[in-house]
Structure 1
């Protein structure tokens, strides 16, 4: 079975390379750990999922590639099935930013005793970055991946300290802005598109919340357009 990683998973895999061991939280079909171990890019992996059915599919793929001795599967939620320092890299991808934050909070000893976390939140990136800033983490690298109209944000996180000096960095990422990532414009356009929907849904509404949301969306769209002009 030849596994073709999606652009999103290829970016995540590239961020893992160099580690001896990794855990993939919410592994689904196990494509990421199987590809990394089969390609000799990591020596061992742990594939974790909260649901039994995806994990059974992962086991079959592992068996097909003859990797039973190198990849272990574990059924459980978040980081709860790992011991502190058990692996060098933990990947938490394809989940909401709030859920990723909650995983890190629930098993902070595991998260903070890992050399590297690779996080790919589907939403609420701002809240996740703020949590990392306030809880002893630093984002050392950020990457973007594009699949059709969707832009995925990937964060490489290590223990340490960081301070965001520009409020927009919580939304757009310090590294994306500082390095003018080639997909940054597409990311901004995507965020503007989502914010425009909020603006239109609150336009002309009488409630105080709706008026505040409309004005906030107007201001946010203006700021994003200003950043885009500088690219």
Structure 2
């Protein structure tokens, strides 16, 4: 049986049993092959736009003897799908803005018809994905953060629900998270930090945000070397962001391992 990375395993674990899956931006089709070999999915569409990975995906599927159950298709985003073909869609390894745009375009084209589950792994801009899910009445049922080869990845699992608005209002309610100092997290910070991740912070999550603080500090140092008024304003804004993140990290319950 094929071996897959910790990141792909995290995505695999979020997909519902028996679902027909479309893996968008499938690269070498490792996840589709594993889904079939494991018995979790009966049929997978592997969508890929770039010629190199597309050829690699076709070879991977052919070598695994799974050409009848994995359809490798060339195309951009959800254009590779027809309405009602799959139950679940996975999109991983892209920026949050691109994932949002792919979903939005697919929605306009009717490609999300029949889809009941989304498993999304943005490399950056996770808040953009969370906002889109709320806007389009998808409920974020859970979040996972993992570390592999020195990088952290957030995996978001969302489902269609008739109660999506009610559930999302509760999930992003600032009153839901109580900080140790008695304060509350704003809705904006819940979108940024992750409403589930911040509820039970783990060490990997805290490590990610400590790293973000270091990056912001370096930006501030660079900006401080400039005499331009615009640089002063940007530095002040970043300093305030650093202060707010630090305040949240210091006031959250102790991170779990």
* TM-score past 0.5 threshold: yes
After superposition, where does 1:23-172 map in structure 2 within 5 Å?
A: 23-108=22-107, 109-111=110-112, 113-159=114-160, 160-161=164-165, 162-163=168-169, 164=172, 165=174, 166=186, 167-172=188-193
Residue deviations 1:51-80, cap 9 Å, x none? Answer: 232122111111221111111111000011
CA distance in 2, matches of 1:45, 1:155: 20
Give the greater-gyration-radius structure (CA). 2
Mapped contact 1:25–1:93 kept (Cα < 8 A): yes
Tell me, yes or no, if the aligned pair for 1:95 and 1:120 is still in contact at 8 Å.
yes
- Of 230, 236, 240 in structure 2, the residue corresponding to residue 219 of structure 1 is 240
Match of 1:184 in 2: 205
* Distance in 2, Cα, partners of 1:188 & 1:31: 30
TM-score by length of 2: 0.83
Contact 1:111 1:117 (8 Å CA) reproduced = no
Consecutive unaligned residues of structure 1, counting only runs of 5 or more, are: none
- Structure 2 residue runs without a partner (length 5+): 175-185
Corresponding residue of 1:21: 20
Instruction: Tell me the distance in 1 between the aligned counterparts of 2:150 and 2:102.
Output: 28
**Contact 1:21–1:42 (CA under 8 A) maintained in structure 2:** yes
Moved more, 136-145 or 72-81: 136-145
Cα distance in 2 between the residues matched to 1:4 and 1:176: 27
- TM-score relative to the length of structure 1: 0.91
Evaluate the alpha carbon distance shift between residue 133 and residue 53 of structure 1 in structure 2; reply closer, same or farther with a 3 A threshold.
same
Q: Distance in 2 between matches of 1:36 and 1:102?
A: 26
Give 4+ residue runs of structure 1 displaced > 4 Å after superposition: none
CA distance in 1, matches of 2:18, 2:233: 47
Q: More displaced, 21-30 or 189-198?
A: 189-198
Instruction: Look up the match of 2:180.
Output: none
Q: Secondary structure at the match of 2:33?
A: helix
Q: What root-mean-square deviation, in Å, do the aligned CA atoms of Structure 1 and Structure 2 show? A: 1.8
Q: Residue 4 of structure 2 aligns with which residue?
A: 5
**For this pair of structures, how many residues does the alignment match?**
230
